[in-house]
Amino acid sequence: GSPAVPSQRPSCYKRALKEHSCHTIPEGQENLRHVDEGLQDHFWEGKGCEVICYCNLNELLCCPKDIFFGPKISFVIPCNSR
């Protein structure tokens, strides 16, 4: 067999919001952007549209979008890379 090499694909991780809660994250702050008005508490992380974070109280759960939504649904999520 081949040697077990950890995949380079990032998995999910949690991130604490220091002085903000889900509803007080300023747009563009913390490297986050709202995904869509209809998806409350969901944010793109970083400049692209590969990682989605879900905010719960004052903590973010961030995952690659195809892990988060699944490949079929993540295909139709609008990307607002401003």
Asked if residue 61 belongs to a domain, the reply is yes
Domain with 60, as residue range(s), is 13-69
Residue whose structure tokens are 């719960």: 56
Span of 2-6, 47-51, 65-69 with lowest mean pLDDT:
2-6
Of residues 18 and 7, which shows the higher confidence score?
18
61 CB-near residues (< 8 Å, 6+ apart): 12, 13, 14, 53, 54
> What pLDDT is attached to residue 13?
93
Asked if residue 81 belongs to a domain, the reply is no
Per the structure, the count of domains in the chain is 1
**Contact present, 46 and 67 (Cβ < 8 Å):** no
Strand pairing class (39-45; 32-36):
antiparallel
Asked if residue 8 belongs to a domain, the reply is no
Structure tokens at 81: 């890379």
Name the pLDDT band for 5 (thresholds 50, 70, 90): low
Query: 28-56 pLDDT, tens per residue?
Result: 677 888 888 888 899 999 888 889 999 98
Q: What's the pTM value of the predicted model, to 2 decimals? A: 0.75
